[in-house]
């Protein structure tokens, strides 16, 4: 397993549409292992492959609480089968938009069909944080970020601040 670098906004890679996976093979399983390790290392609850630069329709998630047993979840080629019109609001963050948080409305519940770590077809009924997170991750597969739902003003401000942060090196060696 390996910890990969998470790509942050602004970066065109994050706007790519990810491609359907033909077969869940050893390469995809290794990718999922690396994604999970990278996500845990960054203290995230979800990660899409494109966030580490791989345009495949693969998501990993773990929404278990800190004091609970780890519960990694893997979603390959996820499809939303059914979402209810009722929405809920959640304060979202994104590892690709570090240190910014904002409220986003999304359908409160959805059914998701996907292939698991072993390539087996599954269906889950998601609600609460699971539904929010899975929809946030599925947006990444389409090149969509949560800041796209904010006002033009807020979005521009966030991107401007993130690009300034990027210009600044982490460490200055004299």
Active centre residues (catalytic): 137
Question: Segment near ligand GNR (CB under 6 A), from 20-28, 43-51, 64-72, 107-115?
Answer: 43-51
Question: Segment near ligand GNR (CB under 6 A), from 25-33, 74-82, 86-94, 160-168?
Answer: 86-94
From the list ligand GNR, Ni ion, none, partner contacted by residue 147 (C-beta under 5 to 8 A by kind) = none
- Taking a C-beta distance cutoff of 8 angstroms, is the pair 160, 34 a contact? no
Bridge partner list, 58: 76
Q: How far is the CB of 26 from Ni ion (least distance, A)?
A: 26
Any contact of residue 138 with Ni ion (CB under 5 A)?
no
Any contact of residue 94 with Ni ion (CB under 5 A)?
yes
Pairing of the two strands 73-83 and 109-115: antiparallel
CA distance 35 to 58: 9
Question: Segment near ligand GNR (CB under 6 A), from 14-22, 132-140, 153-161, 165-173?
Answer: 132-140
Choose between 40 and 119: whose C-beta lies nearer to Ni ion.
40
Burial of 147 (0-12, 13-18, 19+ CB in 10 A): buried
SS3 content of the chain, % helix, strand, coil (to 5): 35, 30, 35
Provide the phi-psi class of 22: left if phi over 0, else alpha when psi is between -120 and 50, else beta. Answer: alpha
From the list Ni ion, ligand GNR, none, partner contacted by residue 18 (C-beta under 5 to 8 A by kind) = none
Q: Which residues sit at the interface with ligand GNR, rule CB under 6 A? A: 44-48, 51, 90, 92-96, 132-133, 136-137, 140
């Amino acid at each position: 397993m390996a910890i990969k670098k998470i790509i942050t906004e602004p970066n065109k890679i994050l706007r790519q549409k990810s491609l359907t996976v033909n077969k869940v093979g050893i390469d995809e399983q290794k990718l999922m292992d690396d994604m999970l390790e990278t996500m845990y290392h960054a203290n995230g609850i979800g990660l899409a492959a494109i966030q580490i630069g791989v345009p495949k329709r693969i998501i990993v998630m773990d929404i278990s609480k800190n004091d609970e047993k780890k519960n990694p979840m893997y979603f390959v080629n996820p499809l939303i089968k059914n979402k209810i019109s009722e929405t809920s609001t959640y304060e979202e963050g994104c590892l690709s938009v570090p240190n910014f948080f904002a409220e986003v409305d999304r359908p409160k519940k959805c059914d998701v069909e996907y292939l698991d770590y072993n390539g087996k077809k599954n269906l889950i009924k998601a609600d609460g944080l699971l539904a929010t997170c899975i929809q946030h991750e599925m947006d990444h597969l389409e090149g969509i970020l949560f800041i796209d739902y904010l006002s033009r003003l807020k979005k521009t401000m966030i991107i401007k601040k993130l690009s300034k942060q990027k210009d600044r090196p982490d460490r200055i060696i004299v």
